[in-house]
């Protein structure tokens, strides 16, 4: 229900949720082209991208990798990816039929099944942002990373992606 002053009331599983503006996160996709990635790589600068109206943002940074696997951080909101396997980056939310090859697995798995296995409530699933490289989902932010873009000993450059939430 749309209320005065841009307030929206939404009923979900017996609860009423009040939101300023939209109750769901922005559904627009954010694309970072290969040219933009190359420019980041050449300058060594970071790129900050606003993720949602709540002030969350994603930071992308490309840097050389020295091959020391023990220096890779184990943080849920910072991941390192093999830059040489990436042509473009898209930040988006899930769509029906989305699949990912989770770290340590050979085959792919539906995002829906991952969310069910991890007991993520249905009303939160569409609000979890995804990082996609080319046509492959590489990271369900804060949940799972893809095996396809992991760092190996042969990796020369990395793409570090950090998410800061308010």
Supply the pTM of this predicted model. Answer: 0.78
Chunked into runs of 10 residues, the chain (166 residues) has average pLDDT values of 73 65 60 90 87 78 84 84 94 92 92 94 88 95 94 92 84
Query: What pLDDT score does 81 carry?
Result: 95
Query: What pLDDT score does 21 carry?
Result: 55
CA distances from 108 to 4, 40, 80, 122 (A): 45, 30, 20, 21
Burial class (CB in 10 A: 0-12, 13-18, 19+), 144: buried
CB contact at 8 A, 128 and 141? yes
Query: What pLDDT score does 26 carry?
Result: 47
7 is written with which tokens?
A: 């307030």
Residue 122 DSSP SS3: helix
45 is written with which tokens?
A: 């600068």
Residue 154 DSSP SS3: coil
Query: What pLDDT score does 9 carry?
Result: 72
32 is written with which tokens?
A: 């970072």
pLDDT in tens, 114-125: 999 999 998 889
Q: Which residues pair with 80 in a beta bridge?
A: 160
Query: What pLDDT score does 14 carry?
Result: 63
Query: What pLDDT score does 133 carry?
Result: 96
> Which has the closest alpha carbon to 27: 136, 122, 127?
127
CB contact at 8 A, 82 and 62? no
Query: What pLDDT score does 123 carry?
Result: 84
Distance in angstroms (rounded) separating the CA atoms of residues 132 and 139: 7
> Which has the closest alpha carbon to 111: 137, 135, 133?
137
CB contact at 8 A, 81 and 152? no
Query: What pLDDT score does 166 carry?
Result: 64
Query: What pLDDT score does 70 carry?
Result: 72
């Amino acid at each position: 229900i749309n209320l005065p002053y841009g307030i929206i009331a939404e009923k979900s599983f017996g609860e009423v949720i009040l939101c300023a503006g939209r109750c769901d996160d922005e559904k627009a996709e954010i694309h970072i082209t290969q040219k933009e990635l190359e420019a980041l790589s050449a300058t060594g600068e970071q790129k900050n991208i606003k993720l949602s109206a709540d002030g969350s943002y994603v930071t992308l940074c490309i840097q050389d990798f020295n091959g020391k696997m023990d220096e890779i951080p184990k943080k849920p909101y910072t991941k390192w990816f093999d830059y040489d396997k990436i042509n473009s980056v898209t930040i988006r939310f899930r769509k029906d039929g989305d699949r990912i090859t989770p770290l340590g697995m050979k085959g792919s798995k539906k995002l829906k099944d991952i969310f069910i296995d991890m007991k993520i409530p249905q009303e939160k699933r569409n609000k979890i942002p995804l990082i996609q490289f080319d046509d492959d989902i590489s990271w369900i932010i804060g949940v799972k990373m893809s095996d396809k873009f992991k760092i190996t000993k042969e990796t020369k450059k990395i793409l570090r992606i950090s998410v800061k939430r308010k």
